[in-house]
């Protein structure tokens, strides 16, 4: 066996150059991460002010600013069911100064649109903050008091019953289509221009049933103008503990929620994403934050970037199956 040859001065120089070159490539990213944040951070909300996602952004944003040491500016970019705001986040420079309030359109829209103004892989999950159940509702005068009674009526009168939604391709529309496909029933879709009009249609008896986000209809449930038959998450809601889940009522795979969290442009430095993730975890440990979120119908539960990504992938696959089954496309 030949003894190892000593490195020549040329080889030593070459090795040093390779090491120095690798270090030089890493330095800009490392230096940026160490200096971040050095200016205000923009948090894009892809919906108008006043809704569920906007309210959560305005709850979390100021506390995120405290944790990171820079202002967090809420930037509402509504349009196209959340797609315009998502596209703006996807196109933003991946430097840690643009974040996105993530919500179901990120997993629903790819199933509905042949062409999106962004690619799903351009959005990187950072942390999921909580989930809000949808609620299956009927008119109290309908005489229907359980999911079993609703299904029995639908099967006795196929095609005669109908349901409201807040528009084609929304999460409430798809929730009802998932319900139809799971139960094997046929009920007609009546789309309204917004959730408020749909709820009014249910109260006045224009439609037989609908799904709605829990916070939006909690007052009507408590006031008795609508009846909640089930919540759509796999566990009962702390806000409506007496209302059973659809899982409890014979649909073991039914798990739907209006979830929300934080995402960022893909390519954002890992150290920056980790800092935001840690800040979000700390914020959710604040009792006041949890209290406010739960008062708005949310089930608080943090998922870090990797499990949030897995959750979103499963959610996207579910809505793709529903959209294909119901033949729903929006362009």
CATH topology for 38-131+258-326 is: D-Maltodextrin-Binding Protein; domain 2 (3.40.190)
Per-residue pLDDT, 330: 86
- Exposure string of 257-266, with b = 16+ CB inside 10 Å and e = fewer, is bbbbbbbbbe
pLDDT in tens, 60-107: 999 999 999 999 999 999 998 899 999 999 999 999 999 999 999 999
Residue 164 confidence (pLDDT): 97
Determine the pLDDT at residue 63: 97
- Over residues 165-208, the pLDDT tens digits come to 999 988 999 999 999 999 999 999 999 988 999 999 999 999 99
pLDDT digits (tens, 9 = 90+) for 240-285: 999 999 999 999 999 999 999 999 999 999 999 999 999 999 999 9
Q: Tell me if residue 206 falls in helix, strand or coil.
A: coil
Are the beta carbons of 103 and 320 closer than 8 angstroms? Answer: no
pLDDT of residue 34: 64
- The b/e string for 88-115 (b: 16+ C-beta within 10 A; e otherwise) is bbbebebbbbbbbbbbbbbbbbbbbbee
Confidence check: pLDDT of 12 > 70: no
**How far is Cα 264 from Cα 92, in angstroms, rounded to an integer?**
9
pLDDT for 26 beyond 60: no
CB 249 within 8 A of CB 146: yes
Q: pLDDT band at residue 33, thresholds of 50, 70 and 90?
A: low
pTM score of the predicted model? 0.85
What is the phi-psi region of residue 159: left when phi exceeds 0, alpha when psi lies from -120 to 50, beta otherwise?
left
Output the DSSP codes for 116-151: -SS-GGGEEEEEEEEEEEEEEEE-GGG---SHHHHH
Tell me whether residue 267 is exposed, middle or buried, using C-beta atoms within 10 angstroms of its C-beta: 0 to 12, 13 to 18, 19 or more. Answer: exposed
The verdict on whether omega for the bond into residue 37 sits within 30 degrees of 0, i.e. cis, is: yes
Q: Specify the pLDDT at position 20.
A: 47
The full set of domain ranges for the chain reads: 38-131+258-326, 133-231
pLDDT band at residue 31 using 50, 70 and 90 as cut-offs: low
**Between these two residues, 77 and 30, which has the higher pLDDT value?**
77
109-158 pLDDT per residue, tens: 999 998 999 999 999 999 999 999 999 999 999 999 999 999 999 999 88
Residue 55 pLDDT more than 60?
A: yes
Q: Does the pLDDT value for residue 321 go beyond 70? A: yes
Q: pLDDT digit string (tens) for 296-320?
A: 888 899 999 999 999 999 999 999 9
What's the confidence (pLDDT) of residue 23? 44
The yes-or-no answer to whether 38-131+258-326 and 133-231 have a common fold is yes
What gap in Å lies between CA 221 and CA 214, rounded to an integer? 9
* Nearest one of 134, 182, 121 to 313, comparing CA atoms: 121
Q: Mean pLDDT over residues 21-47, rounded?
A: 72
Please tell me the predicted confidence (pLDDT) of residue 226.
97
Is the CB of residue 237 less than 8 Å from the CB of residue 297? yes
By DSSP bridging, strand 188-191 and strand 299-304 are: unpaired
Residues 251/182, Cβ–Cβ less than 8 Å: yes
- Count CB atoms within 10 A of the CB of residue 137: 27
Q: What DSSP designation does 232 have?
A: S
CATH fold of 133-231, please? D-Maltodextrin-Binding Protein; domain 2 (3.40.190)
Contacts of 72 (CB under 8 A, 6+ apart): 40, 41, 42, 43, 61, 62, 64, 65, 99
What integer pLDDT is reported at residue 305 of this predicted model?
Answer: 97
Average pLDDT (1-26) is 47
Where helices occur in the chain by DSSP H, the ranges are 9-35, 52-68, 83-91, 105-112, 147-156, 171-183, 195-203, 214-223, 270-284, 287-295, 305-326
pLDDT of residue 296: 86
């Amino acid at each position: 066996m030949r003894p190892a040859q000593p490195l020549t001065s040329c080889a030593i120089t070459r090795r040093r150059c390779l090491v120095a070159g690798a270090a030089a490539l890493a330095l800009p990213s490392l230096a940026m991460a160490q200096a971040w944040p050095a200016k205000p951070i923009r948090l894009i909300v892809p919906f108008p002010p006043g809704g569920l996602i906007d309210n959560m952004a305005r709850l979390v944003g100021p506390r995120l600013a405290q944790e990171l040491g820079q202002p967090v500016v809420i930037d509402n970019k509504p349009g196209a069911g959340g797609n315009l705001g998502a596209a703006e986040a996807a196109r933003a420079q991946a430097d840690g100064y643009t974040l996105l309030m993530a919500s179901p359109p990120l997993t629903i829209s790819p199933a509905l649109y042949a062409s999106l103004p962004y690619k799903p892989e351009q959005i990187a999950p950072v942390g999921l903050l909580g989930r809000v159940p949808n609620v299956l509702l009927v008119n109290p005068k309908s005489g229907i008091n359980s999911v079993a009674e609703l299904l029995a009526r639908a099967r006795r009168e196929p095609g005669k019953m109908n349901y409201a939604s807040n528009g084609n391709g929304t999460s409430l529309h798809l929730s009802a289509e998932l319900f139809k496909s799971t139960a094997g029933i046929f009920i007609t879709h009546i789309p309204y221009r917004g959730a408020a009009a749909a709820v009014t249609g249910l109260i006045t008896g224009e439609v037989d049933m609908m799904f709605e986000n829990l916070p939006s209809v909690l007052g009507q449930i408590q006031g008795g103008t609508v009846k909640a038959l089930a919540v759509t998450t796999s566990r009962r809601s702390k806000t409506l503990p007496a209302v059973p889940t659809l899982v409890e009522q014979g649909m073991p795979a039914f798990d739907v929620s209006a979830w929300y969290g934080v995402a960022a442009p893909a390519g954002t430095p890992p150290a920056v994403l980790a800092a935001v993730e840690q800040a979000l975890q700390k914020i959710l440990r604040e009792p006041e934050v949890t209290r406010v979120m739960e008062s708005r119908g949310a089930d608080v539960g943090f998922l870090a970037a990797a499990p949030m990504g897995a959750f979103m992938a499963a959610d996207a696959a579910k809505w793709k199956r529903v959209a294909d089954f119901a033949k729903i496309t929006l362009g």
